[in-house]
Amino acid sequence: MGNRFNKIEEIKVWQESVELSVYIYKLIADSEKFKRDFGLKDQAQKSCISIPSNISEGFERKTKAEFIRFLYIAKGSCAELRTQLLIAYKLGYIKKKDFEYVDDRCRYISSMIANLIKTLKR
């Protein structure tokens, strides 16, 4: 993969996705209704954790093709998370401002992943 990154902690999109995961866990913990909806809660937590996890797993595979493959999986997890949080919002589990913040962060992270994929494909 070259010397673009030496360790996962240097990758900005990984950092952003870790922060998003922490935010999601806190958001769920602060919502009694969300906490009690075990199916949706578990799915949202799995999706948010999947983003930085797949970025780091792909990075550790040490081939560009594998890294790209795992980045696509992380990008898909962003879309899943957006859907799950939209459902949580529509069910009244989270406030509109929280949904909009998370949706915005997911779109930002997804575009960062897309840009990293483009860069790696060059």
Give the count of domains, the chain.
Answer: 1
CB 34 within 8 A of CB 100: no
CA distance 25 to 44: 9
Share of the chain above pLDDT 90, in %: 93
Residue 4 falls inside a structural domain: no
Q: What is the pLDDT of residues 24-76, one digit of tens each?
A: 999 999 999 999 999 999 999 999 999 999 999 999 998 999 999 999 999 99
Residue 3 maps to a domain: no
Query: Per the domain annotation, does 5 fall within a domain?
Result: no
For position 14, which CATH number holds? 1.20.1440.60
Given pLDDT bands bounded at 50, 70 and 90, which one contains residue 2? very low
Range of the domain at 113: 10-121
Kindly tell me if the per-residue pLDDT of 15 is higher than 70: yes
**Which pLDDT belongs to residue 6?**
87
